[in-house]
Chain A
Amino acid sequence: MTAFIIRRVLQAVLVLILTSMIVFVGVYAIGDPLEILLAPDASMVERAQVSASLGLDKPMPVQYWQFLVNALHGDFGRSFVYNRPAISVIFERLPATLELTITALTMSLVIGLPLGLWAGTRPKTLVDESIMTGSIFGFSLPHFWQGMMLIMIFAVWLGWLPSTGRGEIGTVFGVRTSFGSWDGVRHMILPAINLSLGQTALMIRLTRTGVQETMPLDFVKYARARGLSERRILFVHVMKTILIPIVTIIGIEFGSLVAFAVVTETIFAWPGVGKLIIDSIGVLDRPVVVAYILVIVTLFIAINLVVDVLYSFLDPRIRSRAR
């Protein structure tokens, strides 16, 4: 187990270093930062000065090393737009994104699991057919368009819910959250539905497949023979086996939700990192873009690592195979 974890951590570090190289080459070497920093009519002397002060006249490997050392100290440079360290701009907005993603994740679990179980226990019936077609519809709906339709219907036509921003943020147990005020909750509803719909569809499919694959197994038959109620078999015995893949899926889902938050936040003007990155790309705020990419990649590597470890913890077969 320890060897397994150590190997995974080493791999994770390797991936991070590789990403940082690609990002460095892509963002710093291909584009010329001087063009953004300097006025177009700057003289050659000014150019040389700024170039030297930023270390841009040094050879590439030296520049990369400097970039890496700074990055490890959390220094990605100052945002051109906010004129503050890029990393602090990101961390300031991360809670809004995490709150949105966690809400959406919870919603997809609360809705997707029961529907998946329902469809799974009634294969080839109208219930199963409708739920499955519905779920194909759910993940075929383009995220961004579905969000726009939500705004159009609930904000513009019906006027029930606000369409942009995060609203008033209250404090619950010392944590600043949208759930602290009614206004905050109202602002959360549409973005959370928008973000969770596709993932709910996925959750339904995976749960249903899990149930349908588990139901014909011997242990279910034994449980029936012992006279256990269907309800108990489904919620205790079957649930236990399908929870293993679902743990992995929750990890992966959380990842996709963070990714799709970029879309949701852009549409609903939600003040999180997703909207920040799109805005920053638009105005070429390089330090923020670089910091975002590295923070997100780190987050993903961490999620994958946790999922792998959890998985091998829950399912001993994986552990022995990895060895």
Chain B
Amino acid sequence: MKLTLFRGEGMLVRVARGLRASPKASIALLVCVVLIAAAILAPLIAPQNPYDLLQIDIFDGKLPPGSASRTGSHYWLGTDTQGRDMYSAMLYGLRTSLSVGVTAGVLALVIGTAMGLSAAYFGGRIETLIMRFVDLMLGFPTILVALMILVVFGQGAWKVILALVFVQWAYFARAVRSAALVEIGKDYVEAARCLGLSSPRILFHHILPNCLPPLIVIGTIQVAHAITAEATLSFLGIGLPITQPSLGLLIANGYQVLLAGLYWMSVYPGLLLLVLVFSINVVGDRLREVLNPRLEL
């Protein structure tokens, strides 16, 4: 028991040290933390609730960045066509984007891990069946499968999450399986079997902790991927409904007026999305270097 605890600590320390050693990754991690905090605290730090009709003023619509509102405050990032403060709308959009992306990523991780572990542990028919399906899923781009699922089931936050999970679990399953296959051949698994431990116990207490490094890396990158995919689907008008405006929807709304020169409605939310996804990817890339699983991504 002590040994596993020590090993768990060892990995965390390694990750922390590895991230700190790279200034680029440290900054990216800091940006991620700030953005996540901003998303969680959005209702507290946003100057207005952009979806409370009492707080927005249609006469303040289409104001460029820095304009003063009629009540004296400033719209530092301008307003949208409805008179919403862009900065507030972006904070709320960030909240939606992050929650959809993280939920999809975590669900895909759980399902993919369970599938990958079962494939590696049970082998035979189960393995063939699972891995064939994984291969099939990986043969199709995320955006296309998600598009088809949404065409069939319709729009909505949970449907977008379902579509993303449906595609992304395969990446986790493939990585976990190959990591687990290596572990299963080792002596400690044999020892655990000889002790008469149950399969679930061996799988989740003994094998799984040793498969964590690739899972962490893929998890990070897939969250970034899910956020982009959701934004893209929402931009295409088949993702989130207009009542839950994510960054993608904000950009889509801004696109309508981009050619008229009202750039701020699409440029700023897009920049925020880019910074978010870029920082997550930089952290993920560094994690891959530190934990060094030889991953195909």
- Give the B-binding residues of A (Cβ under 8 A): 11, 15, 22-23, 26-27, 30, 132-133, 136-137, 139-145, 148-149, 151-152, 156, 163, 205, 252, 255-256, 258-260, 262-263, 266-267, 277-278, 281-282, 289, 293, 296-297, 300-301, 304
B185 within 8 Å of A (CB atoms):
no
| Contact B151–A145 (Cβ < 8 Å) | no
Known: A148-B258, A289-B151. A142 touches B140 (CB 8 A): no
| Contact B152–A144 (Cβ < 8 Å) | no
| Contact B139–A148 (Cβ < 8 Å) | no
B228 within 8 Å of A (CB atoms):
yes
Residues of A with C-beta under 8 A to B141:
255-256, 259-260
Stretch binding the partner chain, chosen from B4-12, B60-68, B203-211, B260-268: B260-268
Stretch binding the partner chain, chosen from B36-44, B69-77, B187-195, B234-242: B234-242
Task: Compute how far the CA of A267 lies from the CA of B270 in the bound complex, rounded to whole angstroms.
Answer: 15
**In this complex, what residue of A is CB-closest to B146?**
A259
| Contact B143–A304 (Cβ < 8 Å) | no
| Contact B140–A140 (Cβ < 8 Å) | no
Chain B interface mostly = helix
Stretch binding the partner chain, chosen from B81-89, B101-109, B272-280: B272-280
| Contact A140–B144 (Cβ < 8 Å) | no
- Give the A-binding residues of B (Cβ under 8 A): 24, 132, 136, 139-141, 143-144, 147-148, 151-153, 224, 228, 231-232, 235-238, 248, 251, 255, 258-259, 261, 263, 266-267, 270, 273-274, 277-278, 281-282, 285, 297
Task: Compute how far the CA of A266 lies from the CA of B251 in the bound complex, rounded to whole angstroms.
Answer: 14
Of A139, A148, A263, A304, the most chain B CB neighbours within 10 A belong to A148
| Contact B152–A30 (Cβ < 8 Å) | yes
Residues of A with C-beta under 8 A to B153:
26
Task: Compute how far the CA of A182 lies from the CA of B278 in the bound complex, rounded to whole angstroms.
Answer: 36
Known: A27-B151, A137-B278, A148-B251. A278 touches B236 (CB 8 A): yes
The 8 Å CB contact of A23, one of B144, B152, B235, B285, is B152
Known: A148-B258, A148-B270. A140 touches B236 (CB 8 A): no
| Contact A255–B232 (Cβ < 8 Å) | no
**In this complex, what residue of A is CB-closest to B295?**
A209
| Contact A262–B140 (Cβ < 8 Å) | no
**In this complex, what residue of A is CB-closest to B147?**
A262
**In this complex, what residue of A is CB-closest to B275?**
A140
Residues of B with C-beta under 8 A to A297:
140
Nearest-Cβ distance from residue B16 to partner chain A, whole angstroms: 21
Task: Compute how far the CA of A15 lies from the CA of B135 in the bound complex, rounded to whole angstroms.
Answer: 12
| Contact A293–B151 (Cβ < 8 Å) | yes
The 8 Å CB contact of A259, one of B143, B231, B251, is B143
| Contact B277–A142 (Cβ < 8 Å) | yes
| Contact A140–B274 (Cβ < 8 Å) | yes
The 8 Å CB contact of A151, one of B258, B273, B277, is B258
The 8 Å CB contact of B258, one of A152, A296, A304, is A152
Residues of B with C-beta under 8 A to A136:
278, 281-282, 285
Known: A133-B24, A256-B141. A148 touches B266 (CB 8 A): yes
Nearest-Cβ distance from residue A299 to partner chain B, whole angstroms: 10
Nearest-Cβ distance from residue A278 to partner chain B, whole angstroms: 6
10 intermolecular pairs with C-beta atoms under 8 Å apart: A11-B132, A26-B153, A27-B151, A140-B228, A145-B266, A148-B251, A152-B267, A156-B261, A255-B140, A259-B147
Task: Compute how far the CA of A73 lies from the CA of B228 in the bound complex, rounded to whole angstroms.
Answer: 38
Nearest-Cβ distance from residue B132 to partner chain A, whole angstroms: 8
What are the nearest 5 A-B pairs in CB distance? A26-B152, A145-B270, A259-B141, A259-B144, A140-B278
